[in-house]
Structure 1
Amino acid sequence: MTGPRQLALLAQESAHLAPGASEEAALGRRVFVSGSGAILTDLDGNQYIDLAAGTLTQSLGHCHPEVVTALTEQAARLWNVHDFATADRVELCELLAGLLPPELDTYSFFSTGAEVVEAALRAVQAVAEPGRNRIGALRHGFHGKTQGARMLVHWDIGNQAFAGNSVLGYSPYCYRCPIELQYPSCGVRCASLVRKHIAEKPNVSALVFEPILGAAGVIVPPPGYWEQIADSCREHGVLLVADEVLTGGGRTGAFLASERFGIEPDLVALSKGLASGFPFAALAGRSSVLRHPQAGRAGSTASTYSNNPLGIAAARATLEVVTRDSLVEQVLTLGELLDERLAELRRQFEVLGDVRGIGLLYGLEFVRSRTTREPAPDVARAVYLAALDLGLRVSIGGHIIRLAPPFTIERALLEEGVSLLGRALERVTEAGR
């Protein structure tokens, strides 16, 4: 339960703080004061295994000493000189060049995931051929909360409807197939419809997509989905813009999730784990796009905090550790363990309708019945709160709980975290009998 010191602080700040926090923060009502590796500590001294890794950001865990050192030393030297070159920027570029596919050889740096998605959209608009005035996206996608990112997926607020110029295609949501078919007998019909309505349309300039849909609940595409779409986009001149804000940096067991599905994107948006949760983002792309005369006009990649030395320092330190310690390979090993343990939980608990994931990114979908598959957000909330009380932090959204442990988590601690999740499920299911 939330301790007295935390309750007092939360009551005090509620007089000033606007509502609208994340569901997990609003429900959890915790005040965290420190973190080390995969462990968080709250204001009352309680500790938690953090299997959400911040907001799915802390690829090296909380306060990794090498990232702390890099930030501290940089903070003592220089914070912001707009987008002038700094000593570390070229080294970050070289690191990225060694980690990304060779065709993604041109970079620009920003501060947030939404900002880098907007930069990608500007690049697409700059190089689009006359008549290609539409952009493709996927239903259930999430690309940020800025207006351009929202318009991609037709996300309106209140009574305001800002219709964008995007064309929506079907996501590979096999558990809740939008066209009521079953894989593999469906022939991956969702992919063929994306080809028909987006890839083969002469007025579409690009398809903006998450290789694995994160906010929608870690929707992992089946074999054949991206192969069909990527090949068709390439054939018809539609640019592939991969939003890897969540998945990029190694979380899926490859530096880019696109690599795991054989996708060769023209542009890639990276953020979250790239700098261990420090605000930083990168747009990587083919030189034919990002060095195009229209895309490279003065100011097109500049903003107040773009190229900031602190973000560059955090990203450089993070990627150096990821490379040196072979953490992408470790993600694969730990991911196998996580997959096994979560499969055991699904066999044990009927409320877990589906468990899906890849590497160290998993989604648990809660249902009232495996027959009807009716979503059970109240059960997910109860499990989330029970887990917090037991000393485990996960990420909740609606009827889905997501797990994204740090790459550096010890095997025993990961096992303990999944065991605590099992205990939380036991508490909730027994209480509901």
Structure 2
Amino acid sequence: MTGPLERERLPRQERPLQRRLLEREAARLAPGASEESALGRRVFTEGRGAVLTDLDGHQYIDLAAGTLTQSLGHCHPEVVAALTDQAARLWNVHDFATADRAALCDLLAELLPEQLDTYAFFSTGAEVVEAALRVVQAVAEPGRNRTGALRYGFHGKTQGARMLVHWDIGNQALAGNSILGYSPYCYRCPLELSYPSCGVRCATLVRRHIAEKPNVSALVFEPVLGAAGVIVPPPGYWEQIADSCREHGVLLVADEVLTGGGRTGAFLASERFGIEPDLVALSKGMASGFPFAVLAGRAPVLRHPDAARAGSTASTYAGNPLGIAAARATLEVVRRDALIEQVDVLGGVLAEGLADLYARYDVLGEVRGIGLLYGLEFVRDRASREPAPDIAREVYRAALDLGLRTALGGNVIRLAPPFTIGRALLEEGIALLGRALERVTEGER
């Protein structure tokens, strides 16, 4: 759907079918859903392009693209056709070769930087990050028994991914062997400095504490920190760190689970910042939301004898034929239709619309982003910069009531529209976000 969204026939607040279903499943379903799901209380039944429909017939422009997964929007016909055809033929034969796997490898070789010429397939973002960690541990030289990561990073909910960022649960401390460096969070600089007069001090400290340490094997990082609220590094940050890691033999492991596949206006966000990683983890947008992940790497790393032992890249659902079919169809459309170039065009529309909202609403402390990935950080006021998660929640709910779905996390709302969204629908989504801000800040009802 590319034109303006047709208004739903039912009044926005009437959701009787959804209420009954949610009450029914609450008796059996474990709590712990995402904040946006718990607050939104919607039951979605259909998606077409950038538009979702709920159980009561209401429609929503989906500027969250699933969970930042639907690069081609919901139910792209070519992906549906590929999955339907494959589902009728073969689902799982462990990690045996299948008819499409070699073709997917060739397609990845066209889309990825030349040095990333070897691939392993998995099923989720966390699984591919864990696989990257296993590779690092296998190839690390004696004495290099520590791993670097960035504060505010997110790499999944499995134990290895949590240990990277010292994510404790309950009374269990999971610091592991990782060393945390400073993220380029200029808006809330932990060093209380200002860019550019700071000289990118955060990068200097990452270089000193991680890249130059002889006991560090790798730096695992998000080129743009996604779950932290779309933290985009300033010029000079990655240049310092990447060069120093290369010089000191520290592997660069880019977690592009969220950014990979074109979301930032390049197939890898690493390319936007001049980073040449040794390993890259990709997942979310690679297969239009179907569970699928890729570990791409340099041949000397992934083909190292200690990383290539039998079973190293195998798991129950890794590289299953359905995932390969969805990924191949998705990436062929991305390449054929020049959608990464379209990301830059639509990203300009999104940036312009959000800049206008920033000028109008003081509760927006910062609007930051790149390509079709933006974060809106909500504050009490711009002078204090006090985080305002309650305002973010109210704006998120007001937007849903108006027919707009976004991605909420703490005091940040993230926007990540499908690459295929029409300009008119994107502009309508931005306008609905403006109306939600108006409702919350000015009391419109």
TM-score range, shorter chain: over 0.9
Q: Please tell me whether the aligned partners of residues 109 and 280 of structure 1 are also in contact (alpha carbons under 8 angstroms).
A: yes
In the other structure, the counterpart of 1:128 is 140
Please state whether the residue corresponding to 1:274 is helix, strand or coil: coil
Other-structure match for 2:282? 270
Report the equivalent of 1:407: 419
The answer to whether residue 294 in structure 2 is matched with residue 282 in structure 1 is: yes
Residue of 303, 313, 324 corresponding to 1:301: 313
The equivalent residue for 2:409 is: 397
Q: C-alpha distance in 1, partners of 2:274/2:143?
A: 29
2:68 paired with 1:50 = no
Other-structure match for 1:217: 229
Check if 1:115 corresponds to 2:130: no
Structure 2 partner of 1:172: 184
Are 2:164 and 2:175, in contact at CA under 8 Å, matched by a contact in 1? Answer: no
Conservation of the 8 A alpha-carbon contact between 2:165 and 2:175: no
2:348 & 2:186 partners in 1: Cα distance? 22
5+ residue gaps, structure 1:
none
Give the corresponding residue for 1:13: 25
Could you say which residue in structure 1 is the equivalent of 2:327?
315
Give structure 1 regions of 4+ aligned residues with deviation exceeding 2 angstroms: none
Task: Name the CA distance, whole Å, in 2 between partners of 1:411 and 1:298.
Answer: 49
From 177, 181, 196, the equivalent of 2:208 is: 196
Relative distance call for 1:88 and 1:137 in structure 2 (3 A) is same
Deviation at 1:407, TM superposition (A): 0.1
Quote how far apart the aligned CAs of 1:161 are.
1.3
State how 1:342-381 maps to structure 2 within 5 Å.
342-381=354-393
Amino acid at match of 1:84: F
In structure 1, how many angstroms separate the alpha carbons of the residues matched to 2:375 and 2:290?
Answer: 24
Query: 2:435 is matched with which residue?
Result: 423
- Structure 2: distance between partners of 1:233 and 1:188: 17
Describe the superposition over 1:220-252 as per-residue Cα deviations: whole angstroms up to 9, x where unpaired: 000000000000000000000000000000000
- 2:342 corresponds, among 309, 318, 330, to 330
Determine if contact 1:2/1:29 at 8 Å carries over to the other structure. no
Q: Deviations over 1:129-162 (max 9, x none)?
A: 0000000000000000000000000001111112
Kept after mapping to 1: 8 A contact 2:230/2:369: yes
Counterpart amino acid of residue 293 in structure 2: A
Q: Partner letter of residue 116 of structure 1?
A: V
Superposition CA RMSD, Å: 0.9
Partner of 2:94: 82
Aligned residues: 433
Residues 281-311 of structure 1 show CA distances to partners (whole Å, capped at 9, x for unaligned) of 0000000100000000000000000110000
**Cα distance in 2 between the residues matched to 1:19 and 1:429:** 31
| Structure 1 counterpart of 2:136, one-letter code | V
Cα distance, 1:163 vs structure 2:
2.6
- What is the CA distance between 1:358 and its match in structure 2? 0.2
**1:2, CA displacement in angstroms?**
5.7
Aligned partner letter, 1:175: Y
Counterpart for residue 6 of structure 2: none
- Structure 2: how far apart are the matches of 1:250 and 1:48? 24
For the 8 Å contact 1:127–1:294, the answer to whether it is kept is: yes
User: Residue 7 of structure 2 aligns with which residue?
Assistant: none
Q: Deviations over 1:359-418 (max 9, x none)?
A: 000000000010110000000000000000000000000100000000000000000000
Q: Give per-residue Cα distances to partners, 1:20-69, cap 9 Å, x unaligned.
A: 00000000000000000000000000000000000000000000000000
Task: Report if the CA contact (8 A) 1:2-1:30 is conserved.
Answer: no
Alpha-carbon distance in structure 1 between the residues aligned to 2:355 and 2:421: 20
Whole-angstrom CA distance in 1 between matches of 2:370 and 2:323: 28
**1:82-139 Cα deviation digits (max 9, x unpaired):** 0000000000000000000000000000000000000000000000000000000000
CA distance in 2, matches of 1:336, 1:163: 40
Give the aligned residue type for 1:42. D
State the alpha-carbon separation in 2 of the partners of residues 17 and 138 from structure 1. Answer: 34
CA distance in 2, matches of 1:378, 1:306: 40
Measured in 1, the distance between the counterparts of 2:172 and 2:145 equals 23
Report the Cα distance in structure 1 between the residues aligned to 2:319 and 2:336, rounded to whole angstroms.
24
Q: Give TM-score, length-normalised by structure 1.
A: 0.99
The separation in 1 between residues aligned to 2:135 and 2:248, in whole angstroms, is: 19
- Distance in 1 between the 2:113 and 2:73 partners? 26
Looking at structure 1, the residues matched to 75 and 35 of structure 2 have their Cα atoms a distance apart, in angstroms, of 24
Structure 2 unaligned spans of 5+: 1-12
CA distance in 1, matches of 2:253, 2:176: 17
Q: Distance in 1 between matches of 2:115 and 2:171?
A: 43
1:147 aligned to 2:142?
A: no
Question: What is the deviation of 1:168?
Answer: 0.1
Q: Residues of 2 paired with 1:394 and 1:204: CA distance? A: 38
Rounded to whole Å, the distance in 1 between the matches of 2:148 and 2:404 is 38
Paired position in structure 2 for 1:183:
195
TM-score normalised per structure 2 = 0.97
Q: Distance in 1 between matches of 2:405 and 2:423?
A: 17
**Amino acid across the alignment from 1:124:** V
Instruction: Give the fraction of aligned pairs with identical amino acids, expressed as a percent.
Output: 83
